[in-house]
Each structure stands twice: as structure tokens, then as C-alpha cells.
Amino acid sequence: MFELMVEDSFDAAHQLRGYSGPCEKLHGHTFKVQVYLRAKKAGKLGYVIDFKKIRSLLKGILEVFDHQNLNALKSFHKMNPTSENIAKLVFERLRKQLPREGKLTKVTVFESPTSSASYF
């Protein structure tokens, strides 16, 4: 079994509605996003999916978030823009776009170097 991982990041601001504490105020992060895919076999050229293809798809998804107030985006009108919800949203969008050679297994979003949330 092969596992692939591609990483990218975006800068954005958010605030957590209903949270009692400093995170209820508008603040920013450099969100790091890792996506993981698995496949049973590699193709004729020895790879599952070209990393450039995965990176390009991920970049297209993350562009919507980059340098935005996440709370102002339609995707987060009804839910807080937490790392958990960002991971789920990226997972769902990326899964629809990936070629079938690899199966998307997990998306992890770091809002700091020591704090992350994953969706799988």
C-alpha cells in the first residue's frame, strides 16, 4: 500500500462565534493543510498520482480561503471556521476532484505548529 501526502498553507482570519475567550475576537493564522491519499499500486511510471496534480487541486481549493476573513465566506455562514470544519470542507471538495488512482484518506489542518484537526 502506498500513502502520499501533499502540504500547502494559507493565511486567513477568523473568529469563533459563541466561544467564550480570546478566540471569539477576530484573529489570524497561517493554516497548514496536509492531504493524504492511499493506493494499492503505482502506475506504469512508478507513481500513483503526480504530486503536481494533487498540489494544483489543493491550491485551487485553498485560494478561496487565502487572505480572507473566513467568517465572511458563504461556507462558514452557518458553521464556525474551525480547523475541524476547514478540514472537512477541504476533504469533501478535494475528493470530488481527484482522479480515481488514489483514494483520499485524510485532511489535516494545523492552525499552529502544535495544534491540528483531521477529517477522514
| Domain ranges (residues) in the chain | 2-119
Q: What is the DSSP letter of 68?
A: E
What cell does 91 get?
476533504
What confidence score (pLDDT) does residue 69 get?
Answer: 98
DSSP lists the bridge partners of residue 109 as: 33, 117
**% of residues, the chain, pLDDT over 90:** 90
What cell does 45 get?
511510471
CA distance 90 to 93: 5
What confidence score (pLDDT) does residue 101 get?
Answer: 79
CA distance 116 to 58: 18
Mean pLDDT along residues 94-113: 92
**% of residues, the chain, pLDDT over 70:** 100
What confidence score (pLDDT) does residue 5 get?
Answer: 97
Domain 2-119: top CATH class: alpha beta
Sign of CA dihedral 92, 86, 110, 68: positive
**Residues 107, 118 contacting (CB under 8 angstroms):** yes
